[in-house]
Amino acid sequence: MKSYYFGILFLVAEALMIVLYGIFGRYKRGESDDEHANAISAVNKIAATYAMWVDIHTMIFVGFGFLMVFLKTHCWTSVGFNYLVGAWTIQCGVMFVSLAHGIMAPDGDLSHGVELDFGLLVEGDFCAAACLITMGALLGKTTFV
């Protein structure tokens, strides 16, 4: 497979992901009608998960990226592919984990869409970590494409 086919395939897949986010993406609404209570609740939820999100993000983009730099044959290419795979799998993780939760719900209703919040971003980061660990295990045995 020629390398420019990979670029075309990636751009088509990214366009599909943008369409999926346009169709299913929603911001999570507050539970009550009181604006002040919703704001306090949102600040508390962000304060609880933001530090974990930053730590996992740092592990994904700095830790895994520069862990793969030691290879002679791949070196800086591995950092670029690490960023590409990390960003792509975070998007896919957020989308597909949320859709899977909607499908597996007792009513199986997807009308609420993908409700974006920090908890879902942390789950997307865990999906990216799993994919990057797998990519690290295969590094040197297969090509990036």
What pLDDT sits at residue 125? 92
Q: Which two tokens stand for residue 45?
A: 């939820």
Residue 69 lies in a domain: yes
Compute the mean pLDDT over every residue in the chain, rounded to the nearest whole number: 80
Gap between the Cα atoms of 142 and 123, Å rounded: 27
- In-domain check, residue 120: yes
pTM of the model: 0.80
**The total number of structural domains that make up the chain:** 1
> Does residue 129 fall inside a structural domain?
yes
**Dihedral sign computed on CA atoms, order 90, 92, 97, 102:** positive
Q: What local confidence, expressed as pLDDT, does residue 110 receive?
A: 67
Does the pLDDT value for residue 36 go beyond 90? Answer: no
Residues 103-137 pLDDT 10s: 777 776 666 677 787 888 889 999 999 998 888 78
> What are the residues facing 139 on neighbouring strands?
142
Contact 128, 39 (CB under 8 A): no
* Residue 1 confidence (pLDDT) above 70: no
Q: Let me know if residue 86 belongs to a domain.
A: yes
- Considering the domain boundaries, does residue 143 fall inside one? no
What per-residue confidence (pLDDT) applies to 103? Answer: 79
Helix (H) or strand (E) holding 21: helix 3-24
The pLDDT tens digits for 63-82 are 887 777 766 666 677 788 88
- Is 144 inside any structural domain? no
DSSP element (H, E) containing 27: strand 25-27
The domain in which residue 14 lies consists of: 3-138
Residue 77 lies in a domain: yes
Of 126 and 141, more confident: 126
